[in-house]
Amino acid sequence: MQLNKNVPAVVVQFQFTKRSSVPAWIPTVPPPETDREKEKRLNRQGSGRLVLGPQENSSVFKILEGLMANGYAIVNVKHEERRNDNRPGTFQVVQATFWRADENFTPMDEFLKEVQSEAFEKACEGIVQLCVCNFWRVRVYDNPFFRRGEPVEGLHCATICCDVKKPTVQGNGEPVLVWQKARIDIEGPPTRWQAQDGYPSRPVRVGTAPQPLISSHTLLMNNDTIVIVLE
Q: 6-29: per-residue pLDDT in tens?
A: 999 999 999 999 999 999 999 998
182 plus 134 within the same structural domain: no
Cα distance from N-terminal residue to C-terminal residue, the chain: 20
Task: Please tell me whether the peptide bond between 212 and the residue prior to it is cis, using omega within 30 degrees of 0.
Answer: no
Supply angle C-alpha 187, 191, 192, rounded to 5: 145
Could you read off the pLDDT of 177-201 as tens digits, one per residue? 998 887 666 565 556 555 555 556 6
Residues 21 and 96 in one domain: yes
Helix (H, G, I), strand (E, B) or coil at 223: coil
On whether both 160 and 202 belong to a single domain, the answer is: no
Q: Is residue 60 part of a domain?
A: yes
122 lies in which domain range?
9-167+214-230
Assess whether 143 and 87 both reside in one domain.
yes
pTM: 0.85
pLDDT at res. 198: 55
In degrees and rounded to multiples of 5, residue 104 shows phi and psi of -85, -5
Per-residue pLDDT, 147? 82
The more confidently predicted of residues 33 and 52 is 52
Pair 67, 35 in one domain: yes
